[in-house]
Structure 1
């Protein structure tokens, strides 16, 4: 007979051989043939015979022999002979005699079987060789089924899985192994094939006493529908069956036994606790192999996936050949494998239904529906309610979602969400994928299709969909606003890497932070958002934005210790979204701000010094905004610690770099603060130098506002400087201020005049003495350029004004008196004033043009002002509510 030829059948047999064994005989065709025969199933031997005789005179004989063997069901006879616990019927003898007596064997050159048949008929049973007896004695007692469902084709595409499973079975490390997969994936087939290999492994004969197989399968899916089976359906029945096997095998308590329980989900669904108790009573040295659609806690899980594309197509082809379904195109076989998602049972069912005359266009959809129902129906029906909710949640999310998103949508406690997901994780309904910072849950495709056609709770699914859409809309809106309006270093900025579920909670928190006041409802909302943050999955804590927001919440609740811990954690996070320099510096700057606000100045300086390493920081690709903000805070803190020289050095270094347009007011403000700090050192000992320093400092407010007129940071810095300058000036000795050189400087400096003018509105202790000094200056100095000789100044100082100098307003200006001042952040939001006739006017800061912000900040009730550009607003809503509307001025100035 010619040497075997390469084919898919041969390759399938080769796949079962170990690579080492096959490589050792790569150049020996005779040895290869021997290995192929030893590694083949009975049906594969017949296929090899046909392949090996192709295009020869023997091919017709081999095909005829194969046909007769199949028609006489020799496969069944072979299994009966291989398993001593199977009954051997008399008809089996005569069927085999018919095969052996057929002349085909002699034509093929096979004479041994005929000689043995004739000897048996003469009453002579010849001895079997010692080799066969020894091999037979070493087979392990077992009750494995005589017929395997995959005998027709062999186990295809499972070479790696078989090796791994056999390794787990013979290993003593894992006493319980669970093969987990959806229905139809071949859990039973791979378990039986592995156990069959084990019982015939001579090397294990000495250490293994018995292999028990108990099937709990209640039904099986066939081409004609679901077929009910007679099998144990409870733990009591399982134990009775096991007791019978122990009795039949005559194994002792100390015997080494492998017990395989097939389709364990039958009892797990209703009696998991009972099974746990039963498992505890099993002998410790027994090996337990379980096939189930549900994973078992504490067991080694062996997940079984579908066949790969090549394996699925090969199975479809071989099974079609085995059941005599001919004239099937390769494209159709590929389509069958693809539509079955490489589920072996689905592939066989489609081929069976095609052979039975089914329509190609209908068979695929029908089989898919049957497989899904068979695989998952009972499993899903037995799930706890929260686990069913998770399935609906995942479906609403498109089939997959982050664990955190699932938790937010469910609205359950962390423990409840975890328990629901863990319950699903023990099944084949979902898969989990872990990466560095998150865990993704994904529905199995078949489960997704089942939920599509048979919703568990459509109303709940709709609610999830509404929440998801609302979250996406809010996130899109925030991203759009953030893109155009939010500084990337601002603590309201949320990086793109933050997941949607966390982003939604952060946005909710930010809405609270932007409220100017705090009411009881606000605190309740803060508490609610705080609980939402703390109930998020642990991977949320890998994002610096999480800790920044938590710190802000705790700070608003005045829990300073918790706020400090949160800010500190945010500043230390490296990687993920905080890996960028922008966010890292934002976190650390915020920690410095918080330390400073809590009067922990030294700690704040020490923290910022670590961040500083100024030369390196400015050399990095750090945004100008960050550098400017850092410098402003750093210089202010250094001055509080009286480290003036270091502050001046740092500011000079920063001035060499481009300053962000948004923060141009910061640098002048810092420079002015340095001048003030220097004046504080000398204002009592050297009045003239102090006034010169004040003059230089007085130039800063107007400069800051001219560069950053709309920035509240610049406005705040300007107001702060004016107050500081006013306190310093009022603290100087009157005798020093009355010296001629000092008075000339005071009176001729336009900047200082504006400063002192504004000081007159301050509520400082020594204002009266300061004003008296200025009165003396006005009396002594007759210079026409004396800036203090202005009518507005004289009026404020209370000096008598003669009639011919009476101030006259230009045409169109209306004199008024302020009656209401509504305060805001540093500046009043609006005022109410009335004229001489009693007419009331409403003046809002945002609606006024060319407004002197310094003068506006000083306005108090009773102030004299002038307004112009009056307009009357139209407010239908106000009239409907019975509210009076007031005229609104366009321009305002303080008299």
Structure 2
């Protein structure tokens, strides 16, 4: 009553304020064509005829036309927006469809418009009067012809009754919205709604189409809806019932022509004639149960689709995949929706209310399939018990849908089904590995399966995984489609599990620590553990072979979407990218790894090294600092080498960024650093040497102070920590700097300091160059011997001979053989086969009887402390902090 009055008042507003010349001509032409097509007489020059033939949305359009540039134009716009926001068109169509539920909210929406002051502004006083009458229960029915008049409907041939009409469509709002989105997109030509039998494909399609034909905004992309079905049989409580239906492409074309003739009141005789005349119309063609055609002639539908006009869209329902279509697969109903459907259906069918646990058991046994639920309740009402009812329904559904669907699949897709059955939860990479197929082959089969409801697709940020529903798993269990493939896959999974165990055993046997690049955690998924271990095994080769590195890159790139949540994947990927010189991508990979696992030291260490190698010392310093704060500088045996690497990177970053005073400040307590004292002390030496370099030209006194301090620290390092490689290299640089300074005249006055520094070099040079075999010591010795300082040890002949690499046993003038070291016994356990000795520089040597070349045990046992011997040092066997072993021992008298 109230809505009728609003519409009538708006029509009177147009009659009172406008004329045909002020109305939109295109809209008038559309109304004229519509009325002529329906066989009605219409005078487009008569404003009265126009208003009588106008739908509600068109009335608003005309009201906006006649109020354009007037003071009340905004008021028309306002009331028009209220109609849209409150969806009054839905209410108007509900009035014309007695089978539709009429909600209480409809009254309040219409009352909100009727009570708005805008009606008084527009002079629609009768609306307010009707509202008052309604509120006082003075109800006057609107004209019957108005009630029966549908205010908006796109031409169509949809059936008047739907199979789901009893309950309405339940639990499919998400799918409805997705279908609407596809249909309203002009770039989507063919849409396929795919699911097993009984899932509700037809119900969903019809429910959507009914909404579209009754919604005015749908006319923007649809001129008409044509519906045809190819269903050949129907499930009932009595089993499968055959139907008269379309089975060939020719019959389908005839059905389309017949539907066009009905919808448009035409008389086309051929398919070609019909589509030619309708080629400019935006027609939505719905073909139900297309699998009837696809099973027999799969190419026929594609050929039909190519012949249809460009502006047409096709919506099909099918149990099998449809090529070149946008596919929407229907999942089973959610538990809540399935219970709602069961309860509603049972109530509508007059069944007694069942207990909640019975509903739960029923829907679970029916695998949440709508048709199975309805059939089971039908059987219950017919007097069957619940187990029997469910058994019959599921038996029919399995025979009716599953077997037919499986028969349409390729062998590759069948193998994928069997793989997922065995593996439980698969991704594309695991399918590639287990089936020995390429990623492209797997993608093709996954596409085929995704167009059915056999496989569940689970999408996450890390990629897709695939699983089977309980119903499909049960059917595959009792009806395996390829038992040979299943056995082969099971064996491969067992082999993969064995490889995973071997990886864990190897890691434990080698005691690979967490920071090591080969460390593979035990708790990784088997797929990933085997995959990443195979990559790690080839990393060393990749560093020397661009082909190997490129091959590893391709493997990692293919797997990226599957393992993007694994920190170890990104770390290893970063190493490969760095090998290929893609430093930006490597940096991003290391950062991802560190973010995924902030406790992993290796990712941060790799990132620090990358920053260092690309001269970004401040950023490298931050990473090393973080590792130090994580307490990786410790004295646990397995972490010492890693701790030294961290300290090395940390102090080098400070050194290369010129922060010498900071190094000096942070290394004050280097002697308290335990196992790390040598490396920390050596970096203290490096910072002093760098500062000496900076002052060597301008301030000799300060420079000498730096050099003296550096030499004392290095002397301590050699004495207590041995001649390790890192300290030797820094010693050579310090030796060079001392020579550089004292070869200048400005340093001649510092004779005592110079002598001390030259004696420091003389004391350690032989041991240093013995370890650094690639270093050519001759130029340094020659330069050192030229320094004019009294007591310069390098003026002795021994250094000239060493620089000439003369290691013969010829005696010098003082009787000391060339190539031997004169030592004095410092420690002599009684009756022992070994003893200790020192050279003149205080270097400790370990002497064993086995190396005694010119005497027997009696002579050996008579040697005592302070006796002199000649030895040949065995520096190859020397260990840090230990006395240096010897390879030959000689008596002084014999030589």
- TM-score category of the 2 structures, normalised to the smaller one: 0.5 to 0.7
Match of 1:338 in 2: 364
Following superposition, the deviation at residue 746 of structure 1 comes to 6.7
Name the structure 1 match of 2:338: 312
Structure 2: how far apart are the matches of 1:382 and 1:324? 40
Picking from 594, 600, 607, the partner of 1:588 is: 607
Show the counterpart of 1:282.
308
Question: 1:536 — aligned with what?
Answer: 559
Residues 760 and 612 of structure 1: CA distance in aligned 2, closer, same or farther (over 3 Å): closer
After TM superposition, give the deviation of residue 462 of structure 1 in Å.
Answer: 0.9
Say if 2:467 is the partner of 1:442. yes
CA shift, 1:853, in A, is: 1.2
Q: Deviations over 1:463-514 (max 9, x none)?
A: 4422552465467669979998213xx6556799987655543322333447
Give the C-alpha shift of residue 339 in structure 1. 1.7
Taking a change above 3 Å as real, the CA distance of residues 510 and 317 of structure 1, as seen in their structure-2 partners, is closer
- Residue 695 of structure 1 pairs with residue 720 of structure 2: no
| Counterpart selection for 1:800 from 815, 819, 825 | 815
Q: Is the 8 A contact 1:624 1:659 kept in 2?
A: no
In the superposition, relative to structure 1, how do residues 657 and 188 fare at CA in structure 2: closer, same or farther (>3 Å)? farther
| Residues 214 and 675 of structure 1, relative CA distance in 2, 3 Å threshold | same
Q: Distance in 2 between matches of 1:516 and 1:139?
A: 68
Q: Cα distance 1:541–1:618, how it changes in 2: closer, same or farther (>3 A)?
A: closer
Give the alignment partner of residue 685 of structure 2, picking from 672, 680, 697: 672
Cα contact 1:181–1:187 (8 A) shared by 2: yes
Distance between the aligned counterparts of 1:492 and 1:726, measured in 2?
A: 39
**Distance between the aligned counterparts of 2:252 and 2:743, measured in 1?**
106
The worse-fitting range, judged by mean Cα deviation, of 683-692 and 351-360 is 683-692
Give the equivalent residue in structure 2 for 1:818.
none
Q: How far 1:591 sits from its partner (Å)? A: 0.8
Alpha-carbon deviations, 1:23-63, whole Å to 9, x = none?
55999xxxxxxxxxxxxxxxxxxxxxxxxxxxxxxxxxxxx
SS in structure 2 of the partner of residue 246 of structure 1 = helix
Asked if 2 retains the 8 angstrom alpha-carbon contact of 1:268 and 1:275, the reply is: yes
TM-score (normalizing by structure 2): 0.60
SS of the aligned residue for 2:559 comes to coil
Please give the alpha-carbon distance, in whole angstroms, between the structure 2 residues aligned to 1:262 and 1:362: 31
**Structure-2 residue corresponding to 1:648:** 661
- How far residue 584 of structure 1 moved from its aligned partner, in angstroms, is 6.6
Give the alignment of 1:537-616 within 5 angstroms.
537-538=560-561, 540=563, 545-546=568-569, 548-550=571-573, 552-553=575-576, 559=580, 561-562=581-582, 564-570=583-589, 573=592, 576-577=595-596, 585-595=604-614, 604=615, 607-612=616-621
Is the CA contact (8 Å cut-off) linking 1:542 and 1:576 kept in structure 2? no
Paired residues of 1:432 and 1:439 also in contact (CA < 8 A)? yes
Q: Distance in 1 between matches of 2:448 and 2:610?
A: 42
Q: Counterpart of 2:879? A: 853
Asked whether the equivalents of residues 181 and 304 of structure 1 are also in contact (C-alpha less than 8 Å), the reply is yes
Partner in structure 2 of residue 212 of structure 1: 226
Map of 1:717 onto structure 2: 726
1:329-369 deviation per Cα after TM superposition (whole angstroms, max 9, x unaligned): 55433311222132111113333445666564455456445
Shift of 1:864: 1.9
Residue deviations 1:222-268 (CA, integer Å, cap 9, x gap) = 44555555533443442233234335554463466543211223444
Q: Provide the secondary structure at the position in 2 that maps to 1:371.
A: helix
Partners of 1:267 and 1:586 lie apart in 2 by 62
Q: CA deviation at 1:705?
A: 3.8
Q: Distance in 2 between matches of 1:424 and 1:622?
A: 49
Map residues 501-516 of structure 1 onto 2, 5 A cutoff.
501-513=527-539
1:427 is paired with a residue of what secondary structure? coil
1:420 matched to 2:445? The reply is: yes
Deviates more, 1:246-255 or 1:734-743: 734-743
Q: 1:546 Cα deviation (Å)?
A: 4.3
| Paired position in structure 2 for 1:55 | none
d(CA) in 1 for partners of 2:742, 2:221:
106
CA spacing shift, 1:579–1:694, aligned 2, 3 Å: closer
CA deviation vs aligned residue, 1:793-830 (integer Å, no higher than 9, x gap): 99999763599x99889755489xxxxxxxxxxxxxxx
Counterpart for residue 601 of structure 1: none
Q: Judge conservation of contact 1:672–1:700 (CA < 8 Å) in 2.
A: no
Instruction: List aligned pairs for 1:345-424, cutoff 5 A.
Output: 345-354=371-380, 360-361=386-387, 363-364=389-390, 367-368=393-394, 370-398=396-424, 400-424=425-449
Which residue number corresponds to residue 864 of structure 1?
887
Q: Partner of 1:670: helix, strand, or coil?
A: helix
Note the residue ranges of structure 1 that are not aligned, 5 or more in a row: 1-12, 28-128, 596-603, 707-713, 782-792, 816-832, 838-847, 867-895
What is the SS of the residue equivalent to 2:315?
Answer: strand
The alpha-carbon distance between structure 1 residues 286 and 732, as it changes in their structure 2 partners (threshold 3 A), is closer
Counterpart of 1:753 in structure 2 is 763
Deviations 1:107-135 (A, max 9, x none): xxxxxxxxxxxxxxxxxxxxxx9729964
Are 2:205 and 1:191 aligned?
A: yes
CA shift at 1:186, angstroms? 1.1
Matched residues in 1 for 2:511 and 2:144: separation? 86
Q: How has the CA–CA distance of structure 1 residues 854 and 494 changed in structure 2, closer, same or farther, with 3 Å as cutoff?
A: closer
In the TM superposition, residue 589 of structure 1 has moved relative to its aligned partner by 1.0
Partner of 1:21: 106
Q: Secondary structure at the match of 2:815?
A: coil
Moved more, 568-577 or 132-141: 132-141
1:243 to 238, 254, 257: 257
TM-score normalised to structure 1 length: 0.60
2:842 aligns to what?
Answer: none
User: Relative to structure 1, is the Cα distance of residues 292 and 517 closer, same or farther in structure 2, using a 3 angstrom cutoff?
Assistant: closer
| Aligned equivalents of 1:796, 1:727: Cα separation in 2 | 30
How many Å apart are 1:175 and its aligned residue?
5.9
Please tell me the root mean square deviation across aligned C-alpha atoms, in Å. Answer: 5.9
Deviations 1:518-551 (A, max 9, x none): 8xxx998766544422332446568775454345
Cα offset for 1:392? Answer: 3.1
**Partner Cα distance (1:539, 1:658) in 2:** 50
Residues 195, 422 of structure 1: alpha-carbon distance in 2 compared, 3 angstrom cutoff: closer
Is the contact between residue 407 and residue 414 of structure 1 (CA under 8 Å) also seen in structure 2?
A: yes
Specify whether residues 527 and 754 from structure 1 end up closer, same or farther in structure 2 by C-alpha distance, changes over 3 A only.
same
Q: In the alignment, what sits opposite 1:179?
A: 193
Q: Distance in 1 between matches of 2:471 and 2:672?
A: 59
- Quickly say closer, same or farther: Cα 1:198–1:689, change in 2 above 3 A: closer
Aligned length: 680
Aligned-partner Cα distance in 1 for 2:671–2:205: 72
What's the offset of the Cα at 1:293? 3.6
The separation in 2 between residues aligned to 1:568 and 1:203, in whole angstroms, is: 51
Within 2, Cα distance between the matches of 1:406 and 1:146? 47
